[in-house]
Every structure is written in structure tokens, then in C-alpha cells.
Amino acid sequence: MAVLLPVLLAATCAFLGVGLWVICSHFFTADIPAAIGHPVKLRILHCLFLLLVTWGMIFEKMRICSMPQFVRFMHDLWPLKEDPDVVVTDLYYGTIPVKLYQPKVPSCVPRPGIVFYHGGGGVIGTLKTHHVICCHLSKKSGSVVLSVGYRSPPQHKFPVGMRDCISATIHFLKSLNVYGVDPDRVVVCGDSVGGGMAIVVCQKLLGCPDLPKIRAQILIYANFQALDFQSPSYQQNRNIPLLSRNFAFYCWHLYLDINPSWKSTVMKGAHLPAEIWEKYRKWLGAENIPERFKKRSYQAMTPEPVNEAAYLETNIVLDLMNSPLLAEDEVMSRLPEACIVSCEYDLLRDNSLLLKKRLEDLGVPVTWHHMDDGFHGVLSTLDMGYLQFPCSVRILNAILHFLNEL
């Protein structure tokens, strides 16, 4: 007992100390816009997120586990909510874990199909973190939903996760009759990095005439390029939860296996040569973003001269599996129609605006929903009780309306 008491006191002090540090860090660094409408909720949500990340970093320093492993472990401890109207089946496509969601109500005709790729920066998301979203999609649209549990860092770096998504999608498309899915109504869907994965899957499968064609793509505050950290939304929303620019860079370097020491170079745009910036300016330049999105504290910046050593390590960002927005017009013009959801207070907002313009310019039908009070990750607050944001329900309803109109 005499030995146990000091240990308990030390653990209590450590827990309280970390909690106090998290709260102070939040109030000193986080920017909470009044337009979000529920600032207290967002502060609580952000502090909980920071607490997970901070403890993860501590365990990583102690060499117990990596931060992403700890965050995923803690997420997955939470029991999944069962929906009496949806049958959920855990499967493996080879070594790739997937969850299959099917409405319990029988159907005399083939159902729509949705392949879902979860967000989380390619680092901290899991099948369980997006379970509620997939349940809602299946139940309320009458669709068979396949959620792909692609492998993540630190054990698996790019392109493992992306290849998992492509492989699982191909397997699903070849098995539609087994699941009672209409081959003419298969949609890909993803949030954050998952939205980027969805469009990459569409691009990759364009050259597969033996597979059913993807009917549409639903892209929720997604990331479509890994080059530019100085767009208007990256400047305006750099400290807004739940995706700060610092955390986005952390995910970027871990997912792509790039040394974090290049952070300052990348932020200044000195990781790529001037000719690369000039080549892709026609698609990535701020002039492609409507003026109303540049009114909040935006300053146009010219990339600094290239650091050749940084370019050698970071040019992987030019791979189309990382930056599908860089695909040529011949590819982009053949993509299926898109439903794009963007949020005003999201670091990645401009990616959606740039993709919307490109697709529309090429004649691809686009349905766009912009959430003026939205922030990155808000859809994941569905069914969080007090911490649910009204914006999450509006996003879900917009997606369901799009699906029902197909």
C-alpha cells in the first residue's frame, strides 16, 4: 500500500497536468469563429481530441506505441451503436478488413451500392470511427454500403492504403450480384482523405471496361492535392479545429513518409521548382477561387526558390494518387458526376472549390453544398448527443437527397 500510493499520486498528477496543458494549449492556439454557432461544443470537442493526441504523443515518446495507434485504439474501445434496421457484417477481402452494411428490410429489386472510404488524415481514422455515418447512409438511402478499412501509418505508408481502397473496390464491383446491388447504381463516397481516395478510385477504374462503371462520387470536405499549403483556406483556417495546418502537416509527412524537418520549406512552397508551380497554376491558383472566399485575412504569396534536397524527397506529392486534381483534362472529363460538400471553416475548403471549377469547366455535372457554419470533421459528430452539430445533419440530408435523385 505504501508503494501504491505514490504511484497513484504520480498518475493523478500526470493526468491533471496533461489535461491542464491541453486546455491552455486550446485557448492559446485554437481559433473558434463565432459563425460556427456552437463555440462551447467545439471547444469541448477540440479539447477531447487534443487530449487523445497528447497522450498518444506521450506514449510515443515512451516507446509504448505510436500516437496514431493510441488514438485508433481509444476510438475503437468505444462500443458501436447497433441499428435495428441495418445488418452489419465484418469481412476480409484478402487481408483488407471491410464492413458491409445492408438494410434489414427486404427488397425485390437490386439496391444501390456505396463504397465508403473513411477520413482521418490517412492516419487516425478506422472502420469504427465512421460506423454511424455508414449506418445512416445504408438505412436512409436503402443502399448496401461497403466501408473499406485500408491500412494506415506508421506500419503502412503510401501507397499501401490507396492500393487497399482500389483493390477492395474492384472486389466489391465483381461481387455485386452476391450483395444484391444494382451495377448501374454504384457510388463511391469519402470524407477528408477518404474523399481524395474516392476520386482516385474513379480515375484508376476508368481504364477497366470489364467492371461496372461508377455512377457518381460523393466528396465530403475532401483533399485533392498535396502540394500547396498557402491557399486562402490554408491561411484563413490554419488554427481552426478539428484540422489545424500543423496537424495536417503531421498527417502529410507521416502518410507520405517524408522527414518532418522539411516543414518550414514546404510551408513556404520551396519544396517544388518554379516551373512546377507555373505548370499547375491553371488548376491550383487562387484566381480559380471565387473572390468571396478570399475576403478573410488572405495574402497572396509567391513560393520561395526551390530547395533541391527537399524536392528530391517530397516530389511524391505530384503522384496522381496523392494529388488527383493534377490529372489531365482527358481523365477529369470522363469522371462520373459529383456531389461536393465544402465547409467555410475548413483548412481543405479550397480543394473542393478548385475541383468544382475544374469539373464544371469540363462539363462534368456537379452538385455543390457549402456549409457556411461548417468545419472539418463535423459530419462525424452525428449521434454524439450534446456534441452533435446541426451542420452534420444538413450534410447527411444533402448526401441522401443526391443519392435519391440518381
Give me the tens of pLDDT residue by residue for the chain, a chain 406 residues long: 454 554 454 545 556 677 788 788 888 888 999 899 899 999 999 999 999 999 899 989 999 999 999 999 998 888 888 899 999 999 999 999 999 999 999 899 999 999 999 999 989 999 999 999 999 999 999 999 999 999 999 999 999 999 999 999 999 999 999 999 999 999 999 999 999 999 999 999 998 999 999 999 999 999 999 999 999 999 999 999 999 999 999 999 999 999 999 999 999 999 999 999 999 999 999 999 999 999 888 888 889 999 999 999 999 999 999 999 999 999 999 999 999 999 999 999 999 999 999 999 999 999 999 999 999 999 999 989 999 999 999 999 999 999 999 9
Which of the following is catalytic: 164, 191, 228, 346?
Answer: 346
Domain boundary among 23, 53, 76: 76
Of the three residues 28, 54, 76, the one that is the final residue of a domain is 76
Question: What does the alpha-carbon distance between residue 403 and residue 406 come to, in Å, rounded to a whole number?
Answer: 5
* Residue 307 belongs to some domain of the structure: no
Residue pair 115/187 in contact (Cβ under 8 Å)? The answer is yes
pLDDT of 16 reads: 67
Among 76, 95, 117, residue at a domain's last position: 76
Which residues, including other chains, have CB under 8 Å from residue 345's CB and lie 6 or more apart?
Answer: 33, 35, 36, 237, 240, 373, 374, 375, 376
Q: For residue 133, which of 352, 401, 377 has the smallest C-alpha distance?
A: 377
Q: Which of the following is catalytic: 138, 141, 192, 231? A: 192
User: 85 with 176, same domain?
Assistant: yes
Residue type, 215: R
Residues 40 and 125 grouped into a single domain: no
- My answer on whether 107 and 28 are in the same domain is no
3-state helix, strand, coil in the chain (%, to 5): 50, 15, 35
How would you classify the pairing of strands 96-103 and 86-93?
antiparallel
171 is catalytic: no
Active site residue 138: no
Confirm if 242 and 347 have CB atoms less than 8 A apart.
no
pLDDT of res. 78: 82
User: What grid cell was written down for 310?
Assistant: 527537399
Give the pLDDT confidence score for residue 12 in this predicted structure. 56
Domain encompassing residue 199: 81-225+321-405
- 370 given a catalytic annotation: no
Is the domain of 198 the same as that of 98?
yes
Distance (Å, whole) CA 192 – CA 121: 7
The per-residue pLDDT for 81 is: 86
CA–CA dist 279, 249 (Å, integer): 23
Domain assignment present for residue 15? The answer is: yes
Residue 332: per-residue pLDDT: 98
Threshold 0.85, pTM exceeds: yes
CB of 86 closer than 8 Å to CB of 101: yes
pLDDT of residue 116: 98
Integer angstrom CA distances of residue 54 from 13, 31, 118: 15, 19, 23
The number of domains in the chain is 2
